[in-house]
Amino acid sequence: MSDNKPQTPATQAGNEARLRAMDYLVRRHYFRWAEALPWLIAIALFFILPNRMTFGGQVLIMIMFALSLDLILGYAGIVTLGHAAFFGIGAYTVALASMLAGWSEPISGLIAGGLVAGLVGAIAGWFILRYRGLTLLMLTIAFAAMLQESGNLRSDITGGYDGLPGLMFDPLFGHFQYDLYGHTNYWYVLGVLAIIFYFVRRITYSPFGQALTGIRENVRRMHAIGSPVHRRLVTVYAISAAIAGIAGGLFTQTNAYVTLTVFDFDSSAKVMVMLILGGTGRLYGPFLGAAVYMILEDYLAKLSPTFWQLGIGLLLVLVVLFARRGLLGLAEDIRGYFGRKARASSTPRRLVWKPEHWKALAISALDGGIIGFVAGFATNMKQAALMLSFVTDLPTRAILFTLGGAVIAAAINAIYLLLTSRTAVEEQAS
């Protein structure tokens, strides 16, 4: 006689959901064909733009730097504005090993830079990660500033803000010489980035990575279930510091010089902006964010050497207002929207304008007007907006830019509100 009892519909549904969850956990770490796209683009650019490989190598280094920040901010929820400290430690470790110890072999020097940065990160993290929120943020800023000023005090060793120029490194693997166009350095940095990315990917999909996500979402619950929260945070902080140190070491090796500016607050803020633009908590967010930032910086700096940051700021404001998950998250939302639209039935759809949308529209118009007002004054000296360069009167230009910014911001927000309202109606109807 069988002991099997008939299952209720609720039990069957629970078992099916459990099986789907298990299947997702097993398959989610598999490589997908779409993941090859950034790497194929990087390889193709070498042949399409062979004379821009020096710039391409710097973009790859910043991608690695942003990836190290994403590991602690996007997955563990550690907010920091002093991550440049570890970038600078790695950069100076490689530089001083070459200048003082005569150690010019690039691979071993790069490993040394990562190990020193990781060790400093573990020691610093053990103390500062006991704090949260604004206290932690200020401690990370103070740590980077302290390292920078310490280096300035010992300018006889670090070179101070004049730096250490003219560093010499051995050929890569003893055979590949460094050329003027940065071809060897480009492949060198791309290879290191691929190894680092594979390592970070394994971490994020491992049980350790899932524990970090749990800490980010609800640290009290992780404490309640007995998870060693502090130890795991220190571990991932040290790993992130090591990766940032490797990026800093690559910066020194590819540029053959280093200065104390690598510790600047601007470097920490810059990589934070890159990560916000691309999207936090996404493996390929740093790829998109760093590439967009570096390309815009290069183009806008040629257009307006003084006010190029205005363009970056405008893009950042738009991303924060209308793409909270970054450009990569926005692309995922657009793909999901059209996917749902393609799968939708023939049920009638309509756009819905809710009363509370008027307040959001007014706020976005005000934000756009303020940005336009600032832009109108900025273009008085540098013509960053060529379409209105014929307006020479400063008050008129400020008014036109204010109205234009308000209209553009309000129009973008209105489209966004309508699309989100329509999506909600579709889901309710289905």
Domains, the chain, with CATH or none:
37-324 (1.10.3470), 344-429 (no CATH)
Mean pLDDT of 371-379: 57
348: left (phi over 0), alpha (psi -120 to 50) or beta: beta
**Is the predicted pLDDT of residue 422 greater than 60, yes or no?**
no
**Is the predicted pLDDT of residue 205 greater than 70, yes or no?**
yes
**Is the predicted pLDDT of residue 296 greater than 60, yes or no?**
yes
**Is the predicted pLDDT of residue 384 greater than 80, yes or no?**
no
User: Distance (Å, rounded) from C-alpha 86 to C-alpha 163?
Assistant: 17
pLDDT, tens digit, for every residue of 84-110?
999 999 999 999 998 888 888 999 999
Of the ranges 294-298, 320-324, 375-379, which is most confident?
Answer: 294-298
User: Distance (Å, rounded) from C-alpha 280 to C-alpha 247?
Assistant: 19
Query: For the ranges 48-52, 145-149, 406-410, which has the lowest average pLDDT?
Result: 406-410
What is the structure's pLDDT at 21?
A: 64
H helix intervals, 256-380: 265-278, 285-303, 308-322, 326-343, 357-378
Mean pLDDT of 267-281: 91
> Do residues 73 and 280 lie in contact, with contact meaning Cβ atoms separated by under 8 Å?
yes
Q: How confident is the model at residue 380 (pLDDT cuts 50, 70, 90)?
A: very low
What is the structure's pLDDT at 323?
A: 77
Mean pLDDT of 159-168: 85
- Sign, Cα dihedral of 221, 223, 225, 230: positive
**Is the predicted pLDDT of residue 392 greater than 60, yes or no?**
no
User: Distance (Å, rounded) from C-alpha 408 to C-alpha 276?
Assistant: 22
Query: For the ranges 36-50, 63-77, 172-186, which has the lowest average pLDDT?
Result: 172-186
What is the structure's pLDDT at 1?
A: 45
Residue 144, SS3 per DSSP: helix
Q: What is the DSSP letter of 92?
A: H
> Do residues 269 and 84 lie in contact, with contact meaning Cβ atoms separated by under 8 Å?
no
What is the structure's pLDDT at 73?
A: 93
What is the structure's pLDDT at 33?
A: 75
Q: Which residue has the higher pLDDT, 310 or 201?
A: 201
Of the ranges 186-190, 225-229, 368-372, which is most confident?
Answer: 186-190
Q: Which residue has the higher pLDDT, 20 or 160?
A: 160
Mean pLDDT of 209-228: 89
Output phi, psi for 23, to 5 deg: -65, -40
- Side chain identity at 272, as an amino acid letter? M
Mean pLDDT of 147-158: 90
Q: How confident is the model at residue 389 (pLDDT cuts 50, 70, 90)?
A: very low
Instruction: Tell me what the pLDDT averaged over the chain comes to.
Output: 81
Mean pLDDT of 120-130: 94
Q: Which residue has the higher pLDDT, 363 or 66?
A: 66
User: Distance (Å, rounded) from C-alpha 237 to C-alpha 235?
Assistant: 5
Mean pLDDT of 353-361: 63
Q: How many C-beta neighbours within 10 Å does residue 299 have?
A: 11
Query: For the ranges 14-18, 93-97, 181-185, 248-252, which has the lowest average pLDDT?
Result: 14-18
Mean pLDDT of 156-181: 84
What is the structure's pLDDT at 388?
A: 44
Query: For the ranges 42-56, 300-314, 358-372, which has the lowest average pLDDT?
Result: 358-372
What is the structure's pLDDT at 2?
A: 47
What is the structure's pLDDT at 424?
A: 42
CA nearest neighbour of 411 among 421, 400, 403: 403
pTM above 0.75, yes or no: yes
Mean pLDDT of 267-296: 91
User: Distance (Å, rounded) from C-alpha 200 to C-alpha 70?
Assistant: 10
Mean pLDDT of 318-327: 81
DSSP 159-208: -GGG-B-----PPBTTTB---TT-HHHHHHHHHHHHHHHHHHHHHHTSHH
> Do residues 361 and 418 lie in contact, with contact meaning Cβ atoms separated by under 8 Å?
no
Residue 351, SS3 per DSSP: coil
- DSSP strands (E only) in 76-167: none
**Is the predicted pLDDT of residue 145 greater than 50, yes or no?**
yes
User: Distance (Å, rounded) from C-alpha 267 to C-alpha 257?
Assistant: 17
**Is the predicted pLDDT of residue 186 greater than 90, yes or no?**
yes
CA nearest neighbour of 248 among 26, 62, 70: 62
